[in-house]
Chains A and B, each alone.
Chain A
Amino acid sequence: ILARKFTDKHEWISVENGIGTVGISNFAQEALGDVVYCSLPEIGTKLNKQDEFGALESVKAASELYSPLTGEVTEINTALADNPGLVNKSCYEDGWLIKMTVDNPSELNELMNEDAYEKYIKSIED
């Protein structure tokens, strides 16, 4: 598994065997509050890097999600339909959002590794 990479909009992606799993970071789930609904794309949706691919609702607030990379959606986390709170409880594991192909692996180099992301969060919080 390639180490988790992060976007400046607080999504993460980790790639295994050419398939990327996407979710939101702990910083993001805390900032949202309790997630009550996940609006996710259809399987087969083609996404360009930074395309909006869905939204998370945290009671009265709908927050857009942006694709970390260019690729095609291969799977969505159907557990979230009945249990959207997984995004808060387990944002890096059971609360994953979508899986997608990685059409341009070089785009991964444009994302932040965990250390860089931690620094980024600190810079926002100040």
Chain B
Amino acid sequence: MRARRAVRLLRLGRLPYAESLAAQERCAGRQRAAGPGAAGWLLLSEPAGPVYTRGLRGGPDPAGEARRLRALGAEYWRAARGGLLTFHGPGQLLAYPVLDLRRLGLSLRAYVGALEAAALGLCRRLGLPAARALPPPYTGVWLGGRKLCALGVHCGRHITSHGLALNCCTDLTWFDHIVPCGLEGKGVTSLSEELQRHVTVDEITEPFLDAFEEVFHCTLISHEESIG
């Protein structure tokens, strides 16, 4: 029997996007300084307000895009992650694994696959066996032509940050103002849409954590101490 790696779980609840970024930075710093055996952290949060974020690549007119999206009443952030433009907001689960890939023996590509597998594991547990991960450039979790879960990660010194955004009861109309992830003609969806009932972030958290532990062969240990 192989011992499971311990990953520290930080449930941040509903908080502004900027604070979830700050929390992940702090965890990444702690992980860089951590002794052997520490595999990393998993941060869970739900954005308190509407936010558009753009990844590493930037767009053709960043200033114009920022102006346009802020005028809608949302925040706009650049994030040092892969992936293009997406939306985060209330009703969405943000999962940020801050994991040491060298300690876990995972390549970056395998890690992205594992994140998708965790989201798929959640879908199976909720009775959505048709959910699929698609190959690049459609990385993410889909039901039909509709994206349920977006992915965008960063890796520095083997330590990951950013992660996935899974729509539970997100107001999907916010996505109407962008081409999500730069993929023309593709839709977005949420667990509430697919299951035809109101599904909250709280409801799906435990099954998600279960799927995460299964995929990453780890044990999640709740971290109560405030890292503010």
Contact = CB atoms under 8 A, between A and B. Distances in A.
Interface of A: 9, 30-34, 36-37, 39, 52, 55, 57-64, 66, 124-125
Interface residues of B, number: 25
A64 B156 contact: yes
Contacts of A63: 108, 154-156
23 contacts: A33-B109, A33-B112, A34-B136, A36-B136, A37-B56, A37-B57, A39-B56, A39-B57, A57-B56, A58-B82, A58-B109, A58-B136, A59-B136, A60-B136, A60-B151, A60-B152, A61-B81, A61-B109, A61-B111, A61-B152, A62-B153, A63-B108, A124-B102
Interface in B64-104: 80-83, 102
B107 to A, nearest CB: 4
B102 A33 contact: no
B82 A61 contact: yes
Interface of B: 55-57, 80-83, 102, 105, 107-109, 111-112, 136-137, 139-140, 151-157
B109 A62 contact: no
Contact of A62 (B80, B102, B111, B137): B80
A66 B56 CA distance: 17
Contacts of A31: 107-109
A52 B152 CA distance: 20
> Which of A32, A36, A62, A125 has the most chain B CB within a 10 Å cutoff?
A62
Contact of A60 (B80, B82, B105): B82
Contacts of A30: 107
| 10 interchain residue pairs of minimum CB distance | A31-B107, A59-B136, A64-B156, A33-B109, A60-B82, A61-B82, A62-B56, A62-B82, A60-B139, A60-B83
Contact of A9 (B56, B83, B108, B157): B157
Contacts of A66: 157
Nearest to B116: A60
Contacts of B55: 57, 62
B107 A62 contact: no
B56 A55 contact: yes
